Structure 1
Amino acid sequence: MSKDSKEESTGIESDLVNLARLAASESLEDTRLFLARLIRKYRQSHPDLASRLDQSLKSTQTRSSGNSVLRRGAPVSDSSEAALPVDGDSRLALIRVFDDRAGLASPILPNSVHDAIGAIIRERQESQRLAARGISPTRSAILVGPPGVGKTLSARWIASSLGKSLWVLDLTAVMSSLLGKTGNNLRAALDHAKKHAAVLLLDEIDAIAKRRSDESDIGELKRLVTVMLQEVDQWPDSGLLLAATNHPELVDPALWRRFDMVVKFDAPDAASIGVAIKRFLGDDQEVFKSWIDVLAAGLQGQSLSDVERSINALRRGHALQTASIEKLISSAIDQRQEDLSKAERLNLAIELAKAGQHTHMQISQMTGVARDTIRKHAGPSPRKGRGLK
């Protein structure tokens, strides 16, 4: 046995011994977290082992929830959900739980955002190493960007990578009809998250952390901002506080300064859209292989959630044979034509010409780009075009 093989075998044995020790101690939650860590560790090098461990993890989750099946990515019952704080009047839980510990596909993000999210994860994973130097990991971060760019999915990815569930503060429950209770609800939810060293997401934080100069809000809502300022300042190293907003201009400036990191999400670039289209096509990727560049050009400027809706509609149409592939493609990109800039229309025209399914005249009618311009960038027109119309 080679030295590398021997070290690898020793590493696996050590992991299994630690897993057995946790199981023997009847610490179910710690055992689950360690299982999730092993699944990520061995997914590439030992896929069969990772798959079997994944099945074991899923079976423990199923038993703990009264034999109900957990649906990946949906709000689910956590082992501590019975203790989650609730609104005294409505009895609604103040926190929703997303359990992706069994695995979650990495979000499709621009490189700068991907690096920032990766840094948060690594700091938490290497927190002891930082602590040895007297350094705290990032305790809080605010995710900023328009809807559908991956803010919530990124929060779920962070929690999943750390072997934890994502807790989301449910603002509809926190905002009591009795405004005097809203502050109490907010503190109860935040205190519970701190106590359990949770990864907590405050979604749409602008709803409870508006600028205190906003004259349209009454005093109670302004006092919520003060609560948030105190909580972010005092958030412990053991937990991670995330916030998300679509409207950064509404958030009180004092709150921005309290967060350790600001991560700005922009609309996806062409490369990200191409990657997303391939993922969203799933089993139909081979069918639409020659059209992926056309779709990427035609869906430029859209959020990934909008791209996913368009691709799902495309796949449904193909499955039900409601129209030819060319007409389905036309329908998908025609809806986005008015949103494209002049440069993006030219890019779409070039990709359509490369596909070779239609003439330059047809492309010009679709995109508004002159035939001479198309010819200049894409070469001569084919003699015949099957057409998209």
Structure 2
Amino acid sequence: MVTRVATYTSHNLLTNLAQRNAAKVADLSNQASSGVKSRTYSGIASDTQQLLNLEGSLTRNGQYINNITQVKLRLQNMESATSSMSEIATRMKTLLLQGLSNSQADDLNLDEEGRQAMAQVNSLLNSTLDGRYLFGGATTDSPPVNLAQSPIPDTYFAKVAGSDTATLGSIGGTTAGSLDINGQTITYAPTDTLKDLADQINQLSPPPAVASVRADPGSNNYRLVIEDFSGNPMSISETGGGNLLDGLSHNPALSAETGYYQGDQKHLSARVDEDYSVNYGVRADDPAFASLVAGLRIIGSTTDEDSLRMALGHIEYAIENLPNVGSKIGIDTKNVEEIESQHRDFAVFANNAVSDIENVDIPLTLIEVEQHKTALQASLMTIAKTTDISLVNYLR
């Protein structure tokens, strides 16, 4: 068959159309079998930049989710350790009450119980995850706690019966004067209450010692307690002619060692979004932990009843405040979970967008294949008819 001058243009047009339909059928067939529009970026040239942006965002988003997963694991370990310390504190309180109510501290081996509990707390505060210490702030490569170096506080105290609003005159401070505590001066009058004195000490900057008025468990007594946790003897003297110091009993420190906490004053930190790093967790120098350590240190070192009652005060403070530590950890967990939820929502959106760019709707593509096949067959039939035209056939 010969293409004539008269049919050349229409023959070329039909041939080109058939070739395009054949290429489209082949391309759509490949898409239907593979499920993707193209194996190369050139095949989706108009959407390539958008696809690259989405893929980059998904990579960063995935790293943030991984960071948050690590943060949640660390917080879960912290929460578990804090819960275990609450159980230890509660058990030691029970033993202390039994020992103090019947003067059975020796029979109950309280000192040995205290030392064993101290070893457990030491292990919990030195908890690690993936080789990183959890309770040392930003110092994660070395143990934050050495409880062998935890000092027993040097303590001055006085007991009163029946009321936590007793006056200083009731404990021997019958003459107005002033006390020098570790180089800082406070003034007092006999009509000041124990709480007034404690507040005045604690409000100095920095406080020269820690003062409190607390119930004496197992009795009707209240106790004014002034404690120095530095591990050094407290320097306390009358400087203003009063006589309050005469009414205070002295329970000297049994050690003069440095503090147990060896971490830093920062917090753990993690990048959880493009421009957002979150600080999280608690440190081993939290007051609740410090009180538990102080109480256990006293219990493990002495069977003196006054000392054990002050240890009980520390243990009760720990029992009251360790749940607050757990709540802080819980709040941190909730905060990062909210950010994680946002990232997971974005991942769903971005993956759907990537899928729309890269993938095909297979049923719809198969319909398009059939449509282009039909068009191709029509083109081929038309080409066959045009190549069969002759004068003889025309005259017929």
- Structure of higher CA gyration radius: 2
Structure with the larger RCO, 1 or 2 (CA within 8 Å, 6+ apart) = 2
TM-score, length-scaled by structure 2: 0.20
Higher strand fraction (1 or 2): 2
